[in-house]
Amino acid sequence: MSLAALCGWRGLSSGGQAEAQSGGGGALSAAQRIAGWAERARSLLQRGILPIIDTEATYGGQIPTDSMVEQMDRHGVALVCFAPNFNDPARGSRSSLALAKQHPDRFVPTTCDGTTGYWFRQQGPFLEVMQREARSGDFFLLGELEFRHYPSPAQYRARKFGRDIIIPIDGAWGHAVFQLSSETGLAFQIHYEPEDALLAPLEKMLEAYPGAKVIWCHAGQVRYPDRQSAYGPDYLRQTLSRHPNLFCDLALSEPGSRYPGSGAIHNTAQFGDGRLRHEWRRLLETHPDRFTIGSDIAPDRYEDFPTKIVQSRTLLASLSRDTAARIAFQNAWRLLTRQEWTA
């Protein structure tokens, strides 16, 4: 499959800004939302563009909504799952519902991510709010929860180490989240740096909660190779075979870039030009139904969205047509809607 056929690249125009107002989730039924999403994805396919569903994105308050919509259209992105920051227990994830109310065919109602002190402290209202929202029927995905997180490259360079997070995945809140996913059928995302000592606890939780659906973010990201010697395509191939409830997203750093904390090239899945490395291509072709695309955009890097989508399409162009379609949107479709994609 050619890169041009996958990309649908037509440049980027600027747009205005709009702030999402708080809103409710009752305007559309789940079936109506899904029908609208399907119509949008099919409209892209009819124009020869492979749709992308972005399962990992963070919404932090004000978003340049008009510009975002334009970028999605220009780069063939069908849906974005925006998880709000949890900064106000009274508001919870209402801003995600508001975005979906503004553009119901583009934004997927997603609960707050665990990227603030409300989650890091493992006490207080975060868990209760997430449980209530997950059970409401208004949401289709649980946001990314940081169990083991290193400072981002920008944070490391600025010497800001507040995001160096270690939370036991088999602790009380970890068990609660796995149970919630099992109960509701909603998938949840984890940021979990694949340190050697952390792999066994994750696998034990996957085995203990076979009904939970876990999206392990940033497949192929290795920032400290000396701590993460077991992780790689061979490990993932075996782990995915053992645990059918585990999925991964491919939200990766820029090919060839180095993590400032270690100096290591932390995107181990792609060559410098963005093509998939051969061993990673084999992994994705072996488990084509277990990966999704994520942009990992956040309040401080919305402008990276077009670049991230082009990077993802370069990766997809290394794959067979069927595998590329599954990873671009069909796997995410199944996780969000609990339905197989039908043409």
> Is residue 232 over pLDDT 90?
yes
Check residue 64 and give its pLDDT.
83
Give the CA distances from residue 234 to residues 89, 184, 225, 242, 281, in Å, rounded to whole numbers and listed in that order: 41, 31, 15, 13, 12
Token output for 279: 């061993």
Inter-residue contact 39 to 66 (CB < 8 Å): no
The pLDDT value given to residue 262: 97
Residue 12: is its pLDDT beyond 80?
Answer: no
Lowest mean pLDDT across 156-165, 309-318, 322-331: 156-165
Between 14 and 188, whose confidence is greater? 188
pLDDT of residue 61: 67
Strands 246-249 and 291-292: parallel
Check pLDDT > 60 for residue 204.
yes
Mean of all residue pLDDT scores within the chain: 92
CB 107 within 8 A of CB 77: no
In this predicted structure, the answer to whether residue 198 has a pLDDT above a threshold of 60 is yes
The predicted pLDDT at position 10 comes to: 28
What local confidence, expressed as pLDDT, does residue 8 receive? Answer: 36
Tell me what pLDDT residue 13 has: 26
Specify the pairing of strand 77-84 against strand 165-166.
unpaired
Q: Does the pLDDT at position 18 exceed 90? A: no
Mean pLDDT for the stretch of residues 310-335: 98
pLDDT surpassing 90 at residue 306: yes
- In eight-state DSSP terms, residue 112 is P
Token digits of residue 148? 């083991």
CB 201 within 8 A of CB 167: no
Can you tell me the mean pLDDT for 276-280?
Answer: 98
Please say if the pLDDT value at position 21 is more than 50. no
Q: Which residue has the higher pLDDT, 98 or 299?
A: 98
Q: What's the confidence (pLDDT) of residue 163?
A: 87
What does the pLDDT look like over 49-90, one tens digit per residue? 999 999 999 997 667 888 899 999 999 999 999 999 999 999
Q: Are 101 and 108 in contact (CB under 8 A)?
A: no
Distance CA 195, CA 240 (A): 17
Give the mean pLDDT of 167-174: 98
pLDDT in tens, 100-135: 999 999 999 999 999 999 999 999 999 999 999 999
Decide if 294 contacts 283 (C-beta within 8 A): no
| Per-residue pLDDT at 17 exceeds 80 | no
pLDDT in the model for residue 3: 35
Residue 16 has pLDDT above 50, yes or no: no
What is the pLDDT averaged over residues 194-214? 99
Asked if 246 contacts 281 with a C-beta cutoff of 8 angstroms, the reply is: no
- The per-residue pLDDT for 334 is 99
> How do the domains of the chain map onto residue ranges?
40-337
Q: Which CATH number fits domain 40-337: 3.20.20.140, 3.40.50.300, 3.40.309.10, 3.30.1160.10?
A: 3.20.20.140
